[in-house]
Amino acid sequence: MKNLVFLLLSFVLSTSAMGFSANEKKETHVLILAGGKGKRMESSIPKVLHELNGIPLIDHVINLARKIESNSVSIVTSPDLKNDLSGKGINLIIQDKPLGTGHAVLSARSWFEDKKGDLFCLVILHILSLIH
């Protein structure tokens, strides 16, 4: 396997323009996108299960979601990773056909469409190979 650098990408989908007052504490929800196989990593281990400092990348992301004291956390993943991620104590949303990041968010739509506040989408990206 190559030595790799990862970037945790976060983007926020806010519903704050939908009638919240400035004094009202908004809810925070986290959607972790963890369905990628990591083909570009040239490894048989899925990207989110690779370790950084002895801890799987997905656990770093889950720990981040817990630290921000979100109201709810879900992971969108592929059927292949269901068993690996089921013991994490997080709601799993299975993306039957992995068709990319946008489709992963759409796969979770029924989970977040009734939520109020901010939705943080956390994604682990493989951005650079250091050694070829």
Residues involved in catalysis: 40
Q: What is the rounded distance in angstroms from the CA atom of residue 41 to the CA atom of residue 11?
A: 24
Q: What is the rounded distance in angstroms from the CA atom of residue 32 to the CA atom of residue 23?
A: 28
Cβ within 8 Å of residue 75, ≥6 positions away = 31, 32, 33, 34, 58, 62, 85, 88, 90, 91, 92, 93
Q: Which two tokens stand for residue 64?
A: 């981040």
Label the pairing between strands 118-129 and 28-33: parallel
